Structure 1
C-alpha cells in the first residue's frame, strides 16, 4: 500500500459542489481506499491505496464522486515525498512566520512554457514567486484575496494547479505523519 494526498479543488466553496468530509470518506472507503484521513471541510485527504498510477486513481475517484453526487471535482494526487520536497524546497522560508501569506500551487505537470511576462505583469510590488518542478510558490504579504497573480497563475503557467497556504501544507504533512487530527 502506498500513501497518497488528494487535493480536491472547488468542493465546499461558495455553496457549490457540497461534499461533507464524512460522505467523501465513505465514498473513498467504497473504492477500497484505506486509512482515510480528512481535514475539516477543506477537500484535503490522505489515504492508502494499492494503486500504482496517480492518473488511474484520480479518474476512479472523480468518476465515483460524479456518480454519487452529480459533479466531477478537479483532483490532484501527490505522494508524501512530493509534499516533503515542496516544503524543503520552499524559497521563501522567512514567510512561514505568517503562513497565510505563503501559498504552494501544486501543479499537475511542470509548466513547459509558462508566460513569465504575464506572471510579472500580474505581480504586485510586494509579491514574490518561484516555479520549481511541480510547485509554483507565491509569497503575497498583502494577502491572497486581491492578488492578480494568484488569480491568474494557472492561466499564465499553462497547467492545472491547486493552491494551499503554508498552514494547510503543514497540516497535510502532519496528517501524512499520522499526528494530524481528522475532521
Structure 2
C-alpha cells in the first residue's frame, strides 16, 4: 500500500469550483482508496491505495470530480517519496523564512530551464525561483499575493501543456508529513 497526496488545482478559490472537503473524502473513498484525509479547503487530500500510476490516479480523481460536481479540475498525484524529496531539495533556507515567503509549484511533468529562459530573473529581485524535479520553488519575500515574479511565472505561454498548482511551504511540509509511513 502506498500513500499519496492529491493536489486539486483551483478549487474553493474565489467562490468558484466549490468542493466541500467531506464530499471530496467520500469521492476518494468511493474510488476504493483508504485512509482518506483532507488538509485545508484548497484541494489537498491524502489517501492510501494498492499503488498505481500517479497519472492514472490523477485522471481517475479528475473524472470523478467532474462527474460528481459538474466541472473539470486538474489533479496532480504524488507519493510520499516524491513529496519528501521536494521538501529536502528546497534550495532556499526554509527554516529561516516565514512560510508565506516560500512556495512550491508542482508540475504534471518535468520542466527544463529553457521554458523560463525568457524571464529576466534579475528584474524581479529579491524574488527568486529555482527549478526542481517537476517542481518550481519560489521565494517571494512579500508573499504570493504581492509577487510580481509569481504573476510572470503564471503566464499561460510559460505553462502551456502543463498542469501546475502551487502550495505554500506550510502545506508542502504538512502533505509530506501526512503521507509519511509509506512511499
What TM-score comes out, normalization by structure 2 length?
0.88
1:109-128 aligned at under 5 Å gives the runs 109-112=109-112, 113-118=114-119, 120=121, 124-128=124-128
Q: Give 1:119 shift.
A: 5.5
Distance (whole Å) between structure 1 residues aligned to residue 32 and residue 132 of structure 2? 34
C-alpha contact (below 8 Å) 2:103/2:167 kept by paired residues: yes
1:76-115 aligned at under 5 Å gives the runs 76-94=76-94, 96-112=96-112, 113-115=114-116
What TM-score comes out, normalization by structure 1 length?
0.88
Q: Give 1:95 shift.
A: 5.9
C-alpha contact (below 8 Å) 2:10/2:17 kept by paired residues: yes
- Aligned to 1:114, what secondary structure does the other structure show? helix
C-alpha contact (below 8 Å) 1:95/1:101 kept by paired residues: no
Distance (whole Å) between structure 2 residues aligned to residue 96 and residue 35 of structure 1? 33
Are 1:175 and 2:182 matched, yes or no? no
Moved more, 143-152 or 36-45: 143-152
Structure 2: runs of 5 or more not aligned: none
Distance (whole Å) between structure 2 residues aligned to residue 29 and residue 119 of structure 1? 45
Q: Give 1:146 shift.
A: 2.5
Distance (whole Å) between structure 1 residues aligned to residue 166 and residue 96 of structure 2? 16
Distance (whole Å) between structure 2 residues aligned to residue 130 and residue 148 of structure 1? 16
Q: Give 1:11 shift.
A: 0.6
Q: Give 1:125 shift.
A: 2.1
- Aligned to 1:177, what secondary structure does the other structure show? coil
Moved more, 162-171 or 107-116: 107-116
Choose the corresponding residue for 1:166, options 160, 169, 175: 169
Residues 37-88 of structure 1: CA distance to partner in whole angstroms, max 9, x if unpaired?
A: 1112121011011241112211111111111110111111111111101111
Partner residue, 2:8: 8
Alpha-carbon RMSD across the aligned residues, in angstroms, is 1.9
Partner residue, 1:71: 71
Distance (whole Å) between structure 2 residues aligned to residue 14 and residue 56 of structure 1? 29
